[in-house]
Amino acid sequence: MNVRYLKEKTIHQLEISKSIFISILYPLQTEEDIAFYIEQSKKDYPKANHYCSASFFGETKEHATASDDGEPSRTAGIPILEVLKHHEVTNILCVVVRYFGGIKLGSGGLVRAYTKACADAMKSARFYIKKTVPSFEISFDYPLIDKIDHFLEQKAVIKDKLFLLHVTYRIVLKDSDPKILDDLIHQLISIKELDQEILYLEE
């Protein structure tokens, strides 16, 4: 499964036994962003009781953090981290801000609450994947434009179009297997493989 990346900051709020849980998902560019956004959440919600968090960073999720921020050990940070792990995401921070409502939830209740807070935010978030894929330059005759456009619609991204004696496209495949072009090759004047590219595909 391809690792997923958060497209944009996402906020979700829920109430459990009079406590308010505000989940904030942040996309991360660097590891330093983790501390920065935790501090940002404290500025945005200055009177909350807890700012529990978890994060993954790196192409293989090699850097992970989890913080209970004053909640009983392993009742907040680790449950949040487990939700992120389940969704195969990286370069992401989840901060769950809690305003205590006066009713104690107990360890099991806290685990369920922080799990749900993060999971609900993930449901409303948007993600993309990064793939390293082949790119090609293809040339063909003008009468084939519509047919080739239709063929490539689901299989490739057309980066450039050049209309001279023949039509020339620079295309980036959405799949790493160039065999998906096999049905097209016999209709082309020429095909040249270019350097591989990174493609960002929104889910």
What does the pLDDT look like over 130-154, one tens digit per residue? 888 899 999 999 999 999 999 999 8
Residue 46 contacts by C-beta under 8 Å, 6 or more apart in sequence? none
The mean pLDDT of 98-112, rounded to a whole number, is 95
Going by pLDDT thresholds of 50, 70 and 90, the confidence category of residue 29 is: very high
Buried-state track 116-140, b at ≥16 Cβ within 10 A, e below 16: bbbbbbbeebebeeebebbbbbbbb
Taking alpha carbons only, the member of 2, 3, 1, 11 closest to residue 123 is 11
Count of Cβ atoms closer than 10 Å to residue 149 Cβ: 12
Task: Give the pairing type, strands 63-67 and 156-163.
Answer: unpaired
Question: What is the per-residue pLDDT for 59?
Answer: 87
Q: What is the pLDDT of residue 151?
A: 94
Return the percentage of the chain with pLDDT > 90, whole number.
85
From 26, 24, 14, 28, select the one nearest 45 (Cα to Cα). 24
Model confidence pLDDT, tens digit, residues 65-84: 999 999 999 999 999 999 99
Q: Is the confidence at residue 203, as pLDDT, over 80?
A: no
* Other C-beta atoms lying within 10 Å of the C-beta of residue 195: 6
| Both structure tokens of 118 | 């993060």
Alpha helices for 70-186 (secondary structure H): 77-86, 106-124, 145-152, 182-185
Question: Of the CATH numbers 3.40.50.620, 1.10.260.40, 3.30.230.30, 2.40.50.140, which one belongs to the domain with range 4-125?
Answer: 3.30.230.30
CA dihedral 190, 193, 198, 199 (to 10 degrees): 30
Domain 130-198 indexed as CATH 2.60.40: no
Domain ranges of the chain: 4-125, 130-198
pLDDT at 1 over 70: no
187/185 Cα distance (integer angstroms)? 5
- In this predicted model, which residue has the larger pLDDT, 203 or 124? 124
Instruction: Quote the mean pLDDT of the chain.
Output: 94
pLDDT digits (tens, 9 = 90+) for 161-199: 999 999 999 999 988 788 889 988 999 999 999 999 888
The residue-averaged pLDDT of 98-118 equals: 96
